């Protein structure tokens, strides 16, 4: 019987590659997007594409129901992936902005996962895969909002894995680093809405650093990998009989994991503060 997977955030980048890659491996893929126009585009490519907006509880329920109606009430795997950034210094980050990014990057994931767990319990098996980040392992200047959501996902996922250890449900983290995607471009509207950098005490640092990174594409990162590198890890996570609890993807992620094990917090701070 063909296995089924629901993937969120499929309009571009990691989600889009995962949708194509898993379909090529024989999976029935439900490639969800936040915007209806992106769902329509994917449907034109032959995908089943429910509209799921993590900030809208009603769309989470209706999107999942669409999947369950198509499968007869079952789902083999969920890949929580959709997320966005909100660059800026923590002192310039309004609480409203932090709340919004948590809705999209954390609370919505939790809501969808909670709705999926009873289905997987009933069928006796399932895989819940969370797309975290190297920034779920170490912090990074100017990325406090995104780092906070990924640290939260890491903790929630580790706890959920322990709680579901005696079930047939496997809970897995994927931790990419620099991956070819549109996350930089997609974060610009949130930056412009929430960060008043012109009146910041750090204005000169915005002008010399963050604004250039945000608005001026300098080409691929030194260690950047294509989104297919994440799809490879996802395939192992959902197809292996004994999936790993976490999968590192890029060189920076392996380095970050190593640094956390062998260096003090003070030493890691010295390294990352100058990045």
Q: Point out the residues that are catalytic.
A: 146
How many CB atoms sit inside 10 A of residue 51's CB? 18
The helix (H) or strand (E) run that includes residue 67 is: helix 57-71
For residue 215, CA distances in Å to 172, 177, 191, 200 come to 34, 20, 11, 18
DSSP 133-197: -GGGTS--TTBHHHHHHHHHHHHHHHHHHHHTTTSSEEEEEEE--SBSSSHHHHHHHHHHHH--G
* 172/133 Cα distance (integer angstroms): 13
State the residue for tokens 């640092």: 205
Six-digit token pair at 127? 């895989």
Q: Residue 139: which of 259, 14, 15 has the closest Cα?
A: 259
């Amino acid at each position: 019987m063909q296995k089924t997977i629901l993937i969120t955030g499929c309009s571009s980048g990691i989600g889009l590659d995962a949708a194509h890659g898993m379909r090529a491996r024989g999976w029935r893929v439900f490639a969800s997007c936040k915007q209806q126009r992106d769902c329509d585009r994917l449907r034109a490519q032959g995908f089943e594409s429910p509209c799921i907006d993590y900030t809208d509880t009603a769309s989470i329920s209706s999107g999942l129901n669409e999947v369950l109606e198509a499968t007869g009430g079952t789902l083999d795997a969920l890949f929580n992936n959709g997320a966005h950034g909100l660059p800026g210094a923590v002192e310039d980050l309004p609480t409203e902005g932090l709340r919004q990014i948590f809705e999209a990057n954390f609370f919505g994931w939790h809501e969808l996962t909670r709705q999926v767990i009873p289905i997987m319990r009933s069928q006796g098996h399932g895989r819940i895969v969370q797309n975290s980040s190297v920034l779920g392992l170490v912090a990074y200047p100017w990325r406090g909002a995104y780092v906070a959501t990924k640290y939260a996902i890491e903790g929630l996922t580790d706890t959920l894995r322990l709680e579901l250890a005696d079930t047939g449900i496997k809970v897995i983290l994927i931790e990419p680093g620099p991956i070819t995607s549109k996350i930089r471009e997609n974060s610009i509207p949130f930056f412009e809405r929430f960060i008043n950098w012109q009146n910041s005490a750090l204005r000169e640092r915005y002008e010399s650093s963050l604004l250039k990174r945000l608005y001026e594409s300098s080409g691929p990162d030194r260690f950047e990998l294509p989104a297919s590198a994440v799809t490879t890890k996802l395939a192992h996570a959902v197809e292996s009989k004994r999936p790993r609890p976490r999968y590192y993807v890029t060189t920076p992620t392996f380095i970050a994991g190593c640094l956390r094990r062998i260096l003090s917090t003070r030493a890691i701070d010295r390294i990352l503060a100058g990045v």
